[in-house]
Amino acid sequence: MSDTLRKAAVTGHPVAHSRSPLVHGYWLKKHGIEGDYGRMDVAPDDAERFYGDFAASGLVGANVTVPHKETAAASCDWLDDAARSMGAANTLWIDETGKLCGANTDGLGFLGNLDQLAPGWDANRGMALVLGAGGAARAIVWALLSRNYTAVHIVNRTQEKAQKIADEFGSKTVAHSWDKLGNLLGEADLLVNTTSLGMSGKPPLEIDLSTLPGSALVTDIVYAPLETDLLKQAAAQGNRTVDGLGMLLHQAVPGFERWFGIRPEVDEDLRKLILRDLGVSA
Ligand code: ATR
């Protein structure tokens, strides 16, 4: 390996399960770039030192996964709008002047997936209904507001967590308890599941979509199984659906471009590669 080889990695704890090396490895090979993308496990008690002196890692940049997204953001000299408003960074790079820069690309990944698979999805910019209030929900609320959605309603088992996001993002965002879901569905232009419900090995997402308008788009961030029961039910009643795999792939695009200088595409071969690795049938 030469000294000039540009090296990036997924950093976090744990990182063994991360598919990021497979995604970036695919793009490096496709574009014939002599770079490297690996895994770097950063122990929780070492995170402040690691991100505080990121240049010492020898990496030109990194992805950051749980539980270090907040520590990474706090170590940056510059943050993009999404990372600043979420207080969490998932993509780092060192700029020409040596500054550590951070972005949060989860929201962009969500938008990139819908833009690719459901062009025109945000034409109405009406009411979006978000199920769940974890880190993914926060990124998706940010993304929807960046596209000027008129209202974003968040429904969560623990209403206080939904309320916390609503308070952060302002008056277009409204928090509800789970039992309000039935009343809200009839108004939704977009329904997004950001909970882990419906994922293989997790409890099912119990929901009756019969009052959802026929024009509403339904999407899930769960991608194992690829077609969740939520998406099956939506498709069966004629709603447009988009699965969650693309969010995982599109969130990786800005980092690759920063580190290796080419904006890569999320193509069908990449989707197939990741699905095979996940053991998920398309
Ligand atoms: P992430 O940061 O990846 O989005 P998370 O913070 O664990 O993950 O959030 C998972 C979401 O799934 C939360 O909204 C959680 O609801 P709570 O905030 O009430 O915990 C939701 N979730 C997980 N298991 C659930 C269950 N059995 N019933 C209802 N909601 C559930």
Please calculate the CA angle 103-10-227 and round it to the nearest 5 degrees. 85
* Residue 1: per-residue pLDDT: 46
| Class of the CATH domain delimited by 6-105+252-278 | alpha beta
Residue of minimum CA distance from atom 11 in ligand 1: 195
For a substitution probing ligand 1, which of 195, 197, 199, 221 has the most ligand atoms within 8 Å of its CB?
A: 195
31-46 per-position pLDDT tens digit: 999 999 999 999 999 9
Question: pLDDT per residue over 164-173, tens digit each?
Answer: 999 999 999 9
How far is the centre of ligand 1, averaged over its atoms, from the C-alpha of 128 (Å)?
Answer: 18
Taking residues 256-277, report their average pLDDT: 97
Q: Which of 202, 203, 260 is nearest to 29 (CA)?
A: 260
Catalytic residue among 69, 161, 232, 272: 69
- How many whole angstroms from its chain centre is CA 44? 22
pTM of the model: 0.94
Is 69 tagged catalytic? yes
Rounded CA-CA distance 151/149 in Å is 6
CATH 3.40.50.10860 residue ranges for the chain: 6-105+252-278
Query: From the CA of 66, how far away is ligand 1's center (Å)?
Result: 15
Render pLDDT for 99-158 as a digit per residue (tens, 0 to 9): 999 999 999 999 999 999 999 999 989 999 999 999 999 999 999 999 999 999 999 999
Cβ < 6 A, ligand 1 pocket: 132-137, 156-158, 161, 194-197, 203
Residues of the chain with CATH 3.40.50.720: 107-246
Give percent of the chain above pLDDT 90.
96
Q: Determine the pLDDT at residue 124.
A: 87
Share of the chain above pLDDT 70, in %: 98
What is the three-class DSSP state of 43? Answer: coil
Q: At 280, is the pLDDT very low, low, confident or very high (cuts 50, 70, 90)?
A: confident
Give the CATH number of domain 107-246. 3.40.50.720
CA of 136 to the centre of ligand 1 (A): 10
